[in-house]
Amino acid sequence: MGFLRVSSSGPWRDDLDGLLALNAARGARERVTLLRIFEDLRGLGYEGGYDAVRRYAAAWRRQGGTGAAAAFVPLSFEPGEACQFDWSHEVVLIDGVTVTVKVAHMRLCHSRMPFVRAYPRETRGRWCSTPTTGPSPSARGPARAGSTTT
């Protein structure tokens, strides 16, 4: 008595739909596990198994029952609007000597064109000549620069 099948409209379907919808409407930290939803359904008198509830919940999510819309937002940038910037340390051979250099990597978001510049040592001049912080406001790079450094 009271078994839940995904394809049939059993007496527990409305209760389970309500519990799943209530859980989906909660904040991410307030959501409960499917096992807790199963226990709540058992408290209402459901005598079926957890597996049937799990299968029904998976089908409910696939049908868009979570309320979250699948969306794709294409990223588009105007020329010179934004770039990605990062630093790295590389080991190179210069005149037969192994040296660690600091490398500035920049990629323009509009064209995806990369720019790379290596610095043999850390000096203030290195910071003043990077593409995103040119020597004067007119020589600066893109308006927005996203850095992956911390």
User: How much is the pLDDT for 68?
Assistant: 55
Same domain, 138 and 108: yes
Same domain, 91 and 127: yes
Residue tagged 């080991």 (tokens) = 91
**Residue 47: burial class (beta carbons within 10 Å; 0-12, 13-18, 19+):** exposed
Long-range CB pairs of 94-99 (<8 Å, 24+ gap) are 94/120
User: How much is the pLDDT for 54?
Assistant: 92
Total Cβ atoms within 10 A of residue 82 = 17
Residues 70-93 have pLDDT tens digits of: 667 777 888 888 888 898 999 999
Range of the domain at 108: 82-147
Per the domain annotation, does 72 fall within a domain? no
Same domain, 54 and 86: no
DSSP 68: P
pTM: 0.41
User: How much is the pLDDT for 36?
Assistant: 93
Same domain, 97 and 140: yes
Per the domain annotation, does 4 fall within a domain? no
Per the domain annotation, does 69 fall within a domain? no
Same domain, 58 and 88: no
What is the number of structural domains in the chain? Answer: 2
Per the domain annotation, does 5 fall within a domain? no
Same domain, 87 and 57: no
- Percent of the chain exceeding pLDDT 70 equals 71
User: How much is the pLDDT for 132?
Assistant: 52
Residues (pLDDT < 50) of the chain are: 1-4, 6-9, 134-139, 150
Same domain, 96 and 134: yes
User: How much is the pLDDT for 120?
Assistant: 81
User: How much is the pLDDT for 60?
Assistant: 87
Per the domain annotation, does 3 fall within a domain? no
